[in-house]
Structure 1
Amino acid sequence: MRSQVRSVSILLLGITIALILWLYSLALPGYALFDDWPSLDGLSKIQDIHSGLVYVSTGITGPLGRPLSLSTFALQASSWPENMSALLSVNFGVHALATLMTFFLAVGLARLRIPEKTVSSWIGLGVAALWGMSPFLATTHLMLIQRMTSLSALFVLMGLTAFVWAQLLKDRQSWRVRLMLVCGLGFGTLCAALSKENGALLSLFALVILWLWVPPANRLRGAVERSLILLLAVVPALLLVGYLAIRLPGILEHGYGPHRYFSPLERMMGQPVVLLDYLRNLLLPRAAAVSPFTDRWPVPSGWLDPLSTLLAAGFWIALILTALMLRKKAPYLLFGLTFFLVGHLLESSFIGLEIYFAHRNYLPAFGLYFALIFGLFCIAVRYRRLVIIAISSYVLIFMVILFQVTSQWNDALPNARIWLDENPWSQRGAQFLTTQLVRKGDLQGARQVLDAAVEQNPGLALVQIQRTGLCLGQEEEFPRLLNEVISVLHTANYQPLAAYELAKFANADPAHLCPSRDYSALSRMADALLQNPPYAQNKNVRSQLILTKAFAEVETGDIKKANDYFRESFRLSPNLDVLFYGLSLMANAGEYDQVYAFLAEARELSPRSRLERSLWLKRLDDFLEIMRESQRIDSGRLLSVLVCQDVPGSSFLSFLEGRFRGQDQPTPSASAILDSAAVL
């Protein structure tokens, strides 16, 4: 009978995972979003194994580079960015595997406390179904770049599953137990951290399980096993905490500053409200709350401003105290709560990241759902059928809401309106809605959205600049608008992408939707930002502002001044695409001596990384060969030769075309420019 029940639970698990994959498939083909481009646009440069290794080994999305996650993207380089279905399908597959691991982890945890194997199977099924279908976690898979989150979580779940089941093996001294500990805690932590840095929390999760969940009688007591746990869980956990403590000054220095609208204290005060909102959306999901745009989440000015700050902090203190008081009668409450909070230790504490992101709950949510399902199964056996009905109904609600989210994901304009209504402070939400309105031809509506965004926060330099791109039919008011924007840019908030936006417009068609905006207007806006200290002091940003002026001079015909600007831009922030464009202008003017001299200088500025350096020098050699051939045939227009030869960097003109940040089309910036932006 028990084997039949377990077989049924396994069958239902298979059906659940199939339903999850089907529900997410409704969101295909999907689209790329704001965070996808900085890390993934380099995929377009992968042409062979060598360039693929350079891409994987030079990641900039985190301190460790996240090479394991980048490797999965590199294997799909041919799909970027046109075949989003193929790219997102891998995301969904990773989630399906992670859901499978939550089942085995939950079953193992349940068996540590409940001897009845059939009950543990039902608990595992309930946890896997809730976690796998949780609507609030959907953006983790619908946003392509968040594969890093789900892949890291997959390795953490695998590691924790091996750790838990090692406690359940009857032969405690067997080589299998030791292998599971080494693979789970050691290899699991390594793979998880190389996918995304918060995978290093695996050791802390293991300690939470060991101290708050594994009964003393079930703990491994062999000398070798205890030594392995000490070496692979306790020591890494202490090292992680120690590392954060030692690096605290540097974390505060680099994580905050002019690019953040909040201080460390404001971030810490705001987190109780953020965590409470996470809790609400995880347990009581709403389709409208499933949004990729949660930037510029409001922060408190004090514990009483607003009052919800103090109330939220009080709620968490009361909840923790309640869990401590009930730790013997209801250990699942303290365990689930601690698991949830430990999961937020890095991204919801003092580290200067953005305030709010739903995908940060991907792993922590397991603790909440496990505590909920396990607690329900602790109700008297005579109510077991009612419990199963209640859980099934709850899962059905999750499934219906997830269906609403995924089936409507590609309806960009309605979603854009809903997301901005839900998060009215979001700059990205305003930009996304603007893009959709422009595509529908509603230029007036698009301009109103941007105007409303800057009315709420005048210091948004990027949005201020984008306002100048929409004046079709309102050209007479453009001089006033331009003067207003320039006035703001002198003291605007530090937004590095504002500089890249100007460079994009200067190299594309600055008058596309605003005939009055010419190259002179762009140059004036660049000058205004150059007089804004945070923009002027950052080499990468200053380089882009000078690049804007270079493009403007090209269009106005002053090639000599343009070349001077290109040189200055390259020296501030070496970028081969910028170099090739500037050298092409020199060659077109017949200044070959300057071309060769600048190429020699570029060789001296090559990256330190051996792989990057080799690719850098190869591109320079390719360009030099084309350059010599161009000089020999006296082509007169080097750019046409470059296009014909398909030399890397020759498509620089197309890299900087586009409209607005937050759109679901390829962003306008060149990959190298976007890479620099991500570092900022």
Structure 2
Amino acid sequence: MQALQNNKLILSIFLVLTGVVYWIYSQGFTGAFYFDDFRPLGNLQQVHDFQTGLQYITNETSGPLGRPVAMLSFLLNVGDWPDYPQNFFRINTIIHLLNGLIIYFLSLKLFKLVKPQSKYQALFALFTSFFWLVLPLNVSTSLIAVQRMASLSATFVFSGVLAYLYALDYQAQHLKRGQWVVYVVIAIFSLLAMFTKENGMLLPLFLFVAEITLFKHQTEYQHGRKLRLVVLGGCYFIILAYLGSLLPHIANAYVDRPYTFIERISTEPQILLDYLRLLFIPDIFSYNPFHDNYPTNSSLFATFYSSLSAVFWLALVILAVVFRHKFTVFSFAILWFLTAHILESTIVPLELYYEHRNYVATFAVCFCVVYLVTTIHGKKSQIFMATLLSGYLVILAGCCYLVTKTWGNQHYAAYAWQYNQKGSMRATEHLALKLLADGNKPDALMFVKENTKNCPDCLNSYVQQMVIACSMNLNSSVQSARQYLLQYNRPLRSVAGLPSTLSSLFDMVENKQCKLVDLQTLKQLNQKFLQSPKGGINTGNHVGLHNNLYMIAVAEKNISEQERQINQMWMLSHAPWLANLKLEWLLQQHQYDNAIYFVQKDLCTLAENSTSPLEQSCLQAPNKIKRAMMNGKN
């Protein structure tokens, strides 16, 4: 009874601490939207009723599964884009606190397994959950609006592990029915997690890690364990096999990245060590949204740090596997942490560095640290270590406050991040946009020019220089950037953001806001990047550049060039907006037979035979053609 009362007291303390954590995170509610937010969240403006809401949920392209659960959650913010980012952050923070509560009960359950004789299991769970909640490394997951995808997926992962433990308890009492419950739990929570974000499919892998470490000596969990190991281990094998299946085509997968496959796998061990360092040793300005300037390694042993990282992780994996029966919690933490990174931090050609990839990974590390403190012998030593850990968590909470306070001050954060992330095109662009919004063009130009020196391959910074300098009528800055771009002869591996910036420059030229650039220059620049050596830019950028050339052709009233560019875009992508553009253009040119042929043989055929969101365009096309033909006769 006394233990039960203590547990209730500690849970009450934890709930009070969640209020503190909410207040800490609320300092960042005045933050901004960032580059990854705009495409998936911008479509919220198109949601007006049930049908458009359903389209919003089902038409997302961030991942192969569409992430419909995450997109459904964003409907809570209909009406908030783009003016009220605080409402996104508020919901994200509530999800973060919910995850902390789940981790409290999950940690309590695990401590009952690994410390069955202790009277302080709830206290250990309190330390673990609060540790995880105030990690500055986790801040970006809640204060970048779109990363709700990551935190909500984590909700189902943590809930799935907790439900799995209770299902095992149920199985111990009801052997036949209980075994079905175990597998139903795995299936339901895995599906929920992966349809929120694809790395939710790692849930069975986390359960496998727990089975071969923490659950090995739990007698009450032995019934059906061999089958569970086969099923969960099979899931692990499937993921590894999937990664292996990418290898034969890996060279093509990396053509639109500014690094090679070898550079990625040589750099990721170092990045994982950076994550671990930032987990324990806060560096206030290192927690930010912009890491596109992270330097790559040409090999695993290119530098001392990269060599150390490779050896460090290899040694930890060997130790964790070999001694998983003796040092179960240590092995659990290492294998859980690395399993959490198995998709996003290995060979899949994603961006190199993102802090939110640690959101699930850090749980096991926090659990392990608290567990190690509980193994200290001697009452005085235990009190000392508990005091030391408490002090550390207070410091960590203070650092978390400084991080969220920085994120909440948009201009201060923009300056700090640009200084800390020299050579980051995104950090520079973010700061430049803030300065331009304030009418401070000279400083915006200064920072963009500085970035061209720090990052000579950041071509978008040169176009931004042309945009700003042209608006200030500074011919020398415009022409120096133009000359550099036209003479650039290295293989283009990435031109992220460049098509849209060139589009902005076109708008300025068309609106007579830029007299130092003409349409011929814009045409040369867009064609230059389309004809880059090795063609190392992805389909999305190709479409953007062709669309710029189409708009130039419209301005020049060049009908044949308009048709050529539209056809080029349609060959590259069958996006609904392109289908509508091509149909509208055919109707404007009174090519009614071609329009009918396009709808019947191309558009509607694609809508029937694929999962692409072209159905609406197909259904609306006949009425558009009919109206255009009637107007043409009149």
Residue 86 (structure 2) aligns with: 85
- Name the residue aligned to 1:646: none
Q: Deviations over 1:382-412 (max 9, x none)?
A: 0333333222222211221121122232322
Q: Give, in angstroms, the shift of residue 525 of structure 1.
A: 0.8
> By how many angstroms is 1:307 displaced?
2.0
Task: Please report how far the alpha carbon of residue 336 of structure 1 lies from its aligned counterpart in structure 2 after TM superposition.
Answer: 1.3
Structure 1 residues 509 and 155, CA gap change in structure 2 (3 angstroms): farther
8 A Cα contact 2:320 2:335, kept in partner: no
Q: Check if 1:347 corresponds to 2:344.
A: yes
AA in 1 matched with 2:240: V
Which of 225, 248, 270 aligns to 2:267? It is 270
Whole-angstrom CA distance in 1 between matches of 2:537 and 2:419:
36
What residue number does 1:138 align with? 139
Inter-partner Cα distance in structure 2 for 1:478 and 1:556: 23
Name the aligned partner's letter for residue 21 of structure 1: Y
CA distance in 1, matches of 2:561, 2:242: 49
Following the alignment from structure 2 to structure 1, what is the Cα–Cα distance between the partners of residues 612 and 486? 42
Decide which of 432, 454, 457 is 2:455's aligned counterpart: 457
The answer to whether the Cα contact below 8 Å between 1:450 and 1:463 also exists between their aligned partners in 2 is yes
Match of 2:374? 377
SS of equivalent to 1:138: helix
Q: Which is worse superposed, 205-214 or 61-70?
A: 61-70
Alpha-carbon distance in structure 2 between the residues aligned to 1:413 and 1:352 = 32
**Alpha-carbon distance between aligned partners in 2 of 1:536 and 1:244, rounded to the nearest angstrom:** 23
Letter in 2 for 1:103: Y
Cα 1:359–1:119 shift into 2, 3 Å:
same
The farther-off stretch of 201-210 and 303-312 is 303-312
Provide the residue aligned with 1:361 in structure 2: 358
1:293 and 2:287 aligned: no
Q: How far apart, in 2, do the equivalents of 1:131 and 1:190 lie?
A: 25
- Residues 576 and 10 (structure 1 numbering): CA distance in 2 closer, same or farther, change over 3 Å? closer
Deviation for aligned residue 1:497:
3.5
1:281 matched to 2:278: yes
Letter in 2 for 1:545: L
The 8 Å contact of residues 148 and 195 in structure 1, kept in 2 or not, is answered as: yes
Q: What is the match of residue 210 of structure 2? A: 209
| Alpha-carbon shift at residue 610 of structure 1 (Å) | 6.0
1:427 to 425, 428, 435: 425
Supply the distance in 2 between the matched residues of 1:537 and 1:361 (Cα, whole angstroms). 29
**Structure 1 pair 263/36, CA: closer, same or farther in 2 (3 Å)?**
same
Give the aligned CA root-mean-square deviation in angstroms: 3.0
Contact in 2 for aligned 1:468/1:482 (Cα 8 Å): yes
Distance 2:583 2:598 in 1: 12
Worse-superposed segment, 407-416 or 199-208: 407-416
1:10-409 to 2 correspondences below 5 Å: 10-116=11-117, 118-168=119-169, 171-173=172-174, 177-178=178-179, 180-223=181-224, 227=227, 229-230=228-229, 232-250=231-249, 252-257=250-255, 259-320=256-317, 330-382=327-379, 383-409=381-407
Per the normalisation by structure 2, the TM-score is 0.89
In the alignment, the residues of structure 1 paired with residue 505 and residue 45 of structure 2 have an alpha-carbon distance, to the nearest angstrom, of 22
Contact 2:30–2:409 at 8 Å: present in 1 too? Answer: no
Question: Distance in 2 between the 1:583 and 1:317 partners?
Answer: 57
Question: Cα distance, 1:322 vs. partner?
Answer: 5.9
Aligned to 1:667: none
CA contact (8 A) 1:443 1:470 kept: yes
CA contact (8 A) 2:493 2:536 kept: no
Question: Could you say which residue in structure 2 is the equivalent of 1:481?
Answer: 481
2:591 counterpart SS class: helix
Are the equivalent residues in 2 in contact too, given 1:336–1:368 (CA < 8 A)? yes
**Deviation of residue 536 (structure 1)?**
8.8
Change (3 A) 1:501 1:619: farther
CA–CA distance in structure 1, aligned partners of residues 628 and 508 of structure 2: 25
Q: Which moved more, 1:39-48 or 1:206-215?
A: 39-48
Higher-RCO chain (CA-CA 8 Å, sequence separation at least 6) = 1
User: Could you tell me how far apart the structure 1 residues matched to 2:90 and 2:219 are?
Assistant: 40
When the two structures are superposed, what TM-score results if normalisation uses the length of structure 1?
Answer: 0.84
Counterpart CA distance in 2 for 1:236 and 1:289 is 35
Query: 1-side partners of 2:257 and 2:111: how far apart?
Result: 43
Distance 1:599 1:206, change over 3 A: same
1: CA distance between counterparts of 2:275 and 2:501? 33
CA separation in 2, counterparts of 1:492 and 1:610?
32
AA aligned opposite 1:233: L
- What's the CA shift string for 1:421-453, capped at 9, x where partnerless? 222232211211221222233323222322232
CA distance in 2, matches of 1:517, 1:565: 22
Q: Which residue of 2 aligns with 1:616?
A: 617
Structure 1 unmatched runs, 5+: 635-680
CA spacing shift, 1:442–1:80, aligned 2, 3 Å: closer
Structure 1 equivalent of residue 595 of structure 2: 598
CA distance in 2, matches of 1:534, 1:510: 32
Give the C-alpha shift of residue 297 in structure 1. 1.2
State the distance in 2 between where 1:180 and 1:123 align. Answer: 29
Q: 1:15 to 1:537 in 2, by over 3 A?
A: closer
364-373 or 26-35: bigger deviation = 26-35
Q: Is the 8 A contact 1:511 1:517 kept in 2?
A: no
The sequence identity of aligned pairs, in percent, is: 23
Q: Does the 8 A contact of 2:28 with 2:409 survive in 1?
A: no
Q: Give the distance between the partners of 2:365 and 2:513, measured in 1 at CA.
A: 49
Contact 1:103 1:127 in 2 (8 A): yes
Q: Which amino acid aligns with 2:460?
A: L
* Shift in alpha-carbon separation, 1:115–1:505, aligned structure 2, 3 A: same
Contact kept? 2:465, 2:478, Cα under 8 Å: no
Structure 2: 5+ residue runs without aligned partners? none
Given that 1:468 and 1:481 are in contact with CA atoms closer than 8 Å, whether structure 2 keeps it comes out as: yes
- Name the amino acid aligned to 1:376: V
Rounded Cα–Cα distance in structure 2 between residues aligned with 1:477 and 1:170? 72
Q: 1:170 to 1:627 in 2, by over 3 A?
A: closer
8 Å CA contact 2:156–2:192 kept in 1: the answer is yes
More moved, 603-612 vs 477-486: 603-612
CA contact (8 A) 1:546 1:565 kept: yes
Please tell me the residue identity of whatever aligns with 1:506. Answer: F
1:678 paired residue number = none
Determine whether 1:412 maps to 2:410. yes
More moved, 229-238 vs 167-176:
167-176
Deviation at 1:468, TM superposition (A): 1.3
Superposition deviation, residue 511 in structure 1? 7.0
Shift of 1:562: 4.0
From the superposition, tell whether residues 235 and 439 of structure 1 become closer, same or farther in structure 2 (CA, over 3 Å). same
Give yes or no for contact 2:171–2:179 (8 Å, CA) kept in 1. no
Partner AA of 1:275 in structure 2: L
Aligned to 2:553: 553
* Structure 2 Cα separation of the partners of residues 375 and 424 of structure 1: 39
